[in-house]
Amino acid sequence: MNKVLIINASVRNEKSHSRKLTQLFVENWKKNKPQDKFTYREVGLEHIPPIDEKWIASAFIKPQDRTEENQSGVKFSDQLVKEFKEHNIYVIGTPMYNWSIPSGLKSYIDQLMRINETWKFRSGEPDGDYVGLLKNKKLFILSSRGDTGYGANEKNEHMNFQTKYLKFVFGIMGVKDSSIISLDNEEFGGEIFENSKKEIYRKIEQIQ
């Protein structure tokens, strides 16, 4: 049985295209794997606090030196990290905002990026060699974007700080198995966008 964590990042609700993508994913996945369990983590409509000085003071204390008092700054982060570790499949539904990701999703990632929890330095000291601590995880990135051409070797690849960043940062944590499905052309509307939706919806329905 898989445990699937659905992470929605759009600040829109019913009008969100990325939420529609995660909804289709869940519907399709349940048909193929009805025994799997789902958890939803909302980072777009609910506030995820950004890290602060107190968080940093707590996060960089070595495990053997941790106490309840000096870990108070990462209490909420501990909950998110525990939830994340308990799941083996992650599905991120996110729009592209200003060529990047929504601020709520960035805050969520900052809360997860914990030294000696989700990643470490190979030598145990700052050495530039990052080792992910998460094993046997799978990531699906379902993105929505106004324009098009953000893929590899396409005209807007250099402006893609959305899916490329997400694949990279979760890879640092050890989530190396990732798939990206992107719905483009929203700003064009009309037939162009409708054709894009049909194509992307079909790709999601083919996920096994």
Out of 20-24, 35-39, 117-121, 190-194, least confident range: 190-194
**DSSP category for residue 50:** P
Strand order in the sheet with 177-183: 37-42, 3-8, 89-95, 138-144, 177-183
Q: Is 96 within 8 Å of 83 (Cβ atoms)?
A: no
| Residue 176 DSSP symbol | -
CA 138 to chain centre: 11
pLDDT at 208 over 90: no
Q: Which domain holds residue 133?
A: 3-205
Per-residue pLDDT at 187: 85
* Contact indicator for 5, 83 with CB cutoff of 8 Å: yes
Number of Cβ within a 10 Å radius of residue 16? 21
CB 11 within 8 A of CB 25: no
What does pLDDT average to over the chain? 96
Question: How much of the chain exceeds pLDDT 90, in percent?
Answer: 93
For the chain, the distance separating the N- and C-terminal CA atoms, rounded to the nearest angstrom, is 14
Give residues with Cβ within 8 angstroms of 175, minimum separation 6: 90, 132, 134, 137, 138, 139
- Residue 128's pLDDT is what? 87
Nearest to 141 by CA among 90, 99, 86, 201: 90
Q: Kindly report, residue by residue over 30-80, the tens digit of the pLDDT.
A: 999 999 999 999 999 999 999 999 999 999 998 899 999 999 999 999 999
Per-residue pLDDT tens over the stretch 138-147 = 999 999 999 9
Domain CATH number, residue 165? 3.40.50.360
The pLDDT, as a whole number, for residue 157 is 95
Tally of domains in the chain: 1
Task: Please state, as a whole number, how many other Cβ atoms lie within 10 Å of the Cβ of residue 141.
Answer: 22
Q: What is the pLDDT of residue 127?
A: 87
pLDDT tens by residue, 90-122: 999 999 999 999 999 999 999 999 999 999 999
The two three-digit tokens of residue 92, written as one number: 């991120």
